[in-house]
A and B are shown apart, each in its own frame.
Chain A
Amino acid sequence: MAGLGQNVQLTINGTPHDLVVEPRRTLLDALRDDLALTGTKKVCDMGNCGACTVLVDGRAMYSCLLLAVDCDEMSVTTIEGLGREGELDPVQRAFIEADAFQCGFCTPGQIMSLRGLLDADSAPDDDQIERAVTGNLCRCGAYLHIIDAGRRAVALNREATPEGVRDVHVAG
């Protein structure tokens, strides 16, 4: 019930935030309502669509299925945290170039899923790209262009990542 606030510290896009939230508050609602980070979208609120995908300690997760209190002292990256100094993240650039969206409502989630993939593996194949976004619905039906954006992002990411760093996560 209301009033049962609990302290939680979330590091969002590199900045620590001390919040008092009810234990039932999802990470998604904490982002959108407590922190006004509305780039992360609320669609199904039950883990079916992926529009709320963020990176939690580097892994792509549905923020509607996480309680904010369970993310205490964790590091969360949202769509607002991608890119730096006015430069778009390679995945973001790839989405524009490939026209990988129409209405754009699923786009932040799609981008975060692919960012999570590229952080884990800088040279994924098409199957991996597809698997990374199988949990992200797009009602406008931009899937073909989303896969294309994933491929472009791999190339753009390689250009944007300094030599020697980019293969750190590659298995084998």
Chain B
Amino acid sequence: MSMWRVEREEGEDGEAKLAVAEGTSSAPWGAGADLRIVGTPRTRLEGVEKVTGSARYAYDVRLPGQLHAGILRSPHPHARLTRVDTSAAAALPGVHAVISLTDAPDIDWYDESKLFDPTLRFAGDEVAAVAAESEDIVADALRLVVAEYEPLPFAIDIESALAAGAPSIHPGGNIESEKTYERGDVEAGLSAAEVTFDHILTTPTAIHHSLEPHGCTAVWEGGGLTVWESTQSIFDVRQQVAEKLGLDESQVRVIKQHMGGGFGSKQIAWKQTVIAALLAKRAGRPVQLMLDREGESLAVGNRNPTRQRLRVGATRDGTLTAIDVTIHQAIGAHSAGGEGSNTAGLYQTLYRCPNVRTSQTGVYTNTGPAVAFRAPGYVEADFALETAIDDLARQLGMDPLAFRLKNYTGDDQAEDKPFSQPEGLRACYEKGAEAFGWGQTIQQPPAPHRRRGVGIAAHHWVGGAGDPPGYAWVKLNPDGRADVITGTQDIGTGTRTGLAMVAAEELGFTLDQVTLHLGDTALGPYAPVSSGSATLATIGPAIRVAAAEAKAELLTAAAALLEEPVERLSVRDGLIRVAGEPEDRATPVAAVTGSMSPHMIQTQGARGANAEDVSIQTFGMQCAEVEVDTRTGEITVRRVVAAHDCGRIINPTAVDSQVIGGVTQGIGFALTEERVIDAKTGIVLNANLEEYKLPTVSDIPAIENVHVGIPDLRANAMGSKGIGEPPHIPTAPAIANAVFDAIGIRFYDLPLTRSRVLDALAAREHGGETG
């Protein structure tokens, strides 16, 4: 039985809450553990479905009578909706339901807004929606909606939102949140510094651009609502949709089997899900409401742009004396919720430094709401801090890697406790540097306008540890196969396969004896949002507990069947073995489970608490080599070596794919990706995949993932931590530092577009002539 304890606690608001402690510890999978499946490369269990087109995404649900739906969006960045008339749209043949401010239920949304609000706060804000028999009729009907607007003054960026006399985006002003942190004496540290870095750095608004847009298919059935949602969190969507619609959570079922990308943007119930449910109710038919690419670009999340004033100091011997950063980040028109963007966190933790001050201010702007995007905050901070570290190392004439090692820490100074794996980052440095050939001279091409350089950047990440609660069930079928059931979701990362491997390992089964079920709130136990690189480390331990109990019961049954003492029995490779007996006398699991049929072995496991005396973090470093064409300003990334500490590697195949994917996205963030807004009109100019520049196959260099793979047994008994977000963090600064190495120009603003590079080269030339 799992441990289970419950205590009454007073909540902050004075209300009673129950604190639950649960979970059973499993035997640690140490470095020498005899593992037969975990650690071996495996292709994805859902591979056949994905390559045959039979994997059913939210967009692919086809129900009898299903309608299509679409949303009319505000063309103004800030406006009052003075009139909306949907009567002509409603009268169009083929239209079955419309909804707008005039007839929508009063549902609170975001911090101080409504599902349909008379004040529109960004270009793309929801004005009306229509459900009809085809997408073409939806488009016709949306054109027939009459909407009149009174445009209001607007602020689309940090500077204009904070300027004196700026239009107020919310009644309380344009400051969304302020967080400060301080240790030591930063001013004294800066005074003691012999070299300093003091610059303002900026990072752009990046759009997630999951290829499957946000959206769902909603149908009312059986006294409740079923939603096939493209989401990273079926249980959060269930809770939020129920709350918005005034339903019990049990009346809402959320299903997600496959999802075409999320990257952080699909953690919450967005408006379109509730709109789809309301349209389906009015039409009396299922409604599919998937956003078009413009809506996807405008209204359902982005990486917050930042402006970071950063001061860092060091002494001659390369010891950091102070880090002082003032961060402003534009969170858009609303606080959307979900995982926060803790840009300050990296500054507090990555290097040993006694004097650190961080200030982080969230600023409202008349732009689409920001939401977590793969390592939110850390990607932005790492560009700035790792630029500064590279600059200080060069000022000191030190190797940038040696400078980092000089300021290494095995302690989480913000939490005042050691890291669960204090040597994790050092192992990344050593293995990554060796694989890259760090310190070796690179060959320059003969043409003088083509200059090559190398750069390095490190990071830590606050995620990857996993947390309770999270549950798993195991049932052993008469045929000797195991169903492993969780309420988590595979967001494309390989969760199905990784968790099935954990289950098979613990059961002693082969991988094909395990079927992993997930993604349905009605059929599986609770699991939290798949964010923070936490899914494997949250659900894996719960599966181990459930599987260990199932195995124990299986062996008890086998002992009765075989008339052997249970101590002599074990399961390996899907066969039950008797100690000392020859291999060929092993008994198939099915012989035992079949003999007890229709009785079945069914167990459950819960995720236990994390150790409190350590800080569980993930770490990594990347080295990049670039070539800069000083005639065109084009930066070509030639190769990237990545080394990340994610503890024990469960499936090397999936980890490699995560790392090359994170680096690939990082190349986009470094070089091309940026939402562009026209300052005069507040309109997004590149709300599509034509002008928002994602990396293509031709932009990708050789990417090598160096497996670090040290089990982190203080983190959990698997020794594994998440790898989803980390590989996206250090790519941009590694590239920017390599560009400096190539052409000697330091860039403080991303992305490193050709025009930016050419402008900088021209400025240097001009400066050289006049100076």
Please tell me which stretch of B178-186, B268-276, B376-384, B650-658 contacts chain A, meaning at least 4 of its Cβ atoms lie within 8 angstroms of it: B650-658
Per-residue CB contact flags for chain A residues 29-49 toward chain B (1 = under 8 Å, else 0) read 100010011111111111011
A23 CB, min distance to chain B CBs, angstroms = 10
Residues of B within 8 A of A130 (CB): 697-698
Measured between beta carbons, the chain A residues less than 8 angstroms from B258 are 103-104
User: Is residue A69 contacting chain B, with contact meaning CB distance below 8 A?
Assistant: no
CB A66 to nearest CB in B, in angstroms, measures: 15
B416 within 8 A of partner (CB): no
Residues of A within 8 A of B136 (CB): 2, 22, 24-25, 29
Write the nearest CB–CB distance from A135 to chain B, whole angstroms. 8
Name B238-266 residues within 8 Å CB distance of A: 258-261, 263
Complex interface bits, A75-92 against B, C-beta within 8 A gives 1, otherwise 0: 000111011000010001
Quick check: B697 and A40 within 8 Å, CB to CB? no
Q: Is the pair A51, B211 in contact by a Cβ cutoff of 8 Å?
A: yes
Q: Which residues of B contact A88 (CB under 8 A)?
A: 48, 51-52
A61 on interface, CB distance cutoff 8 Å: no
Determine which residue in A49, A97, A102 has the highest number of CB atoms from chain B within 10 A of its CB, and name it: A102
Select from chain B the residue with minimum beta-carbon distance to A80: B53
Pick the contact of A139: B51, B60, B261 (CB < 8 A). B261
- Residues of B close to A170: CB separation below 8 A: none
B140 touches A43 (CB 8 A): no
Assuming the contacts A79-B53, A99-B43, asked whether A137 and B664 have C-beta atoms less than 8 A apart, the reply is no
Give the size category of A's interface with B: 35 or more
Contact partners of A39 in chain B: CB under 8 A:
52-54
> Which of A42, A82, A93, A95 has the most C-beta atoms of chain B within 10 angstroms of its own C-beta?
A42
Cβ–Cβ contact A139 & B47, under 8 A: no
A62 on the B face (CB < 8 A): no
Supplied contacts A44-B690, A144-B703, 20 more A-B pairs, CB within 8 Å:
A2-B92, A22-B136, A25-B136, A29-B136, A38-B62, A42-B59, A45-B292, A46-B689, A49-B211, A80-B53, A83-B52, A88-B51, A95-B51, A101-B50, A103-B259, A139-B665, A144-B664, A144-B700, A145-B657, A147-B697
Chain A residues with CB under 8 Å of B85's CB are none
A16 at the interface (CB under 8 A from B): no
Is B696 part of the contact surface with A, judged by Cβ < 8 Å? yes
The contact of B211 among A1, A22, A43, by CB within 8 Å, is A43
Does B661 interact with chain A (Cβ within 8 Å)? yes
- When C-beta atoms are compared, the residue in chain B nearest to A130 turns out to be B697
Chain A residues within 8 Å of B702, by CB? 144
Across the interface, do B697 and A99 meet the contact criterion of CB distance under 8 Å?
no
**How far does the alpha carbon of A37 sit from the alpha carbon of B529 in the complex, in Å?**
31
Minimum CB–CB distance for A82 against chain B, Å: 7
From known contacts A48-B690, A140-B661, infer whether A38 and B53 are also in contact, taking CB-CB under 8 Å: yes
A38 and B212 contacting across the interface, CB-CB below 8 Å? no
Q: Which parts of B138-190 form the interface with A (CB within 8 Å)?
A: 140
B93 touches A137 (CB 8 A): no
Which residues of B are found within 8 Å of A143, using beta-carbon distances? 660, 664, 695-697, 700
A26 to B587, CA, bound (A): 58
Q: Shortest CB–CB separation between residue B655 and chain A, in angstroms?
A: 10
Residue contacts A-B, CB under 8 angstroms, 25 given: A2-B134, A33-B135, A39-B53, A39-B54, A43-B293, A44-B293, A44-B688, A95-B47, A99-B44, A99-B656, A101-B51, A102-B261, A103-B261, A103-B491, A104-B49, A104-B50, A105-B211, A105-B260, A130-B698, A134-B697, A136-B697, A139-B209, A139-B261, A141-B660, A144-B703
Let me know if A96 is at the binding interface, CB within 8 A: yes
A141 and B52 in contact, given A45-B292, A99-B44, A103-B261 (Cβ under 8 angstroms): no
Q: Does B662 contact A (CB under 8 A)?
A: yes
State the Cβ distance, B654 to closest chain A Cβ, in Å: 7
B494 touches A102 (CB 8 A): yes
- Residue contact B52 to A96, C-beta cutoff 8 Å: no
**Residue numbers in B under 8 Å from A107 (CB-CB):** 50-51
Residues of chain A with a CB closer than 8 A to B211's CB: 41, 43, 49, 51, 103, 105-106, 137-139
User: B50: which A residues are within 8 A, CB to CB?
Assistant: 95, 101, 104, 107
- Docked complex Cα distance between A96 and B51 (Å): 7
Taking CB atoms, residues of chain A closer than 8 Å to B438 are none
**Considering the chains assembled together, what is the distance between the CA atoms of A143 and B68 in angstroms?**
33
Closest 4 CB pairs of A and B: A39-B53, A141-B664, A105-B260, A103-B492
Scan A100-131; emit 1 where CB is below 8 A from any B CB, else 0.
01111111100100000000000000000010
Is A82 a contact of B688 with CB atoms below 8 Å? Answer: no
Whether the Cβ atoms of B93 and A97 lie closer than 8 Å is: no
Looking at the assembled complex, report how far the CB atom of A4 sits from the nearest CB atom of chain B, in whole angstroms: 11
Name, among A48, A49, A51, A139, the residue most crowded by chain B CB atoms within 10 Å (CB to CB). Answer: A139
Asked whether, in the complex, the Cβ of B51 is within 8 Å of the Cβ of A2, the reply is: no
When distances are taken between beta carbons in the complex, the residues of chain A under 8 Å from B664 are 141-144
Q: Tell me, yes or no, whether B604 is within 8 Å of chain A by CB.
A: no
Q: A43-B293, A79-B53, A80-B53 are in contact. Are A99 and B653 (CB under 8 A)?
A: yes
Q: Name the residue of chain A whose CB is nearest to the CB of B651.
A: A99
Q: Indicate if A8 sits at the interface (CB-CB under 8 A).
A: no
A-contact bits for B185-213, CB 8 A (1 contact / 0 none): 00000000000000000000000111111
Q: Nearest A residue to B135 by beta-carbon distance? A: A29
Docked pose: A33 CA to B718 CA in angstroms: 45
User: Is A146 part of the binding interface, using a Cβ–Cβ cutoff of 8 Å?
Assistant: yes
Interface string of B281-294 (1 = CB under 8 A from A): 00000000010110
B79 on interface, CB distance cutoff 8 Å: no
Residue of B nearest to A98 (CB): B43
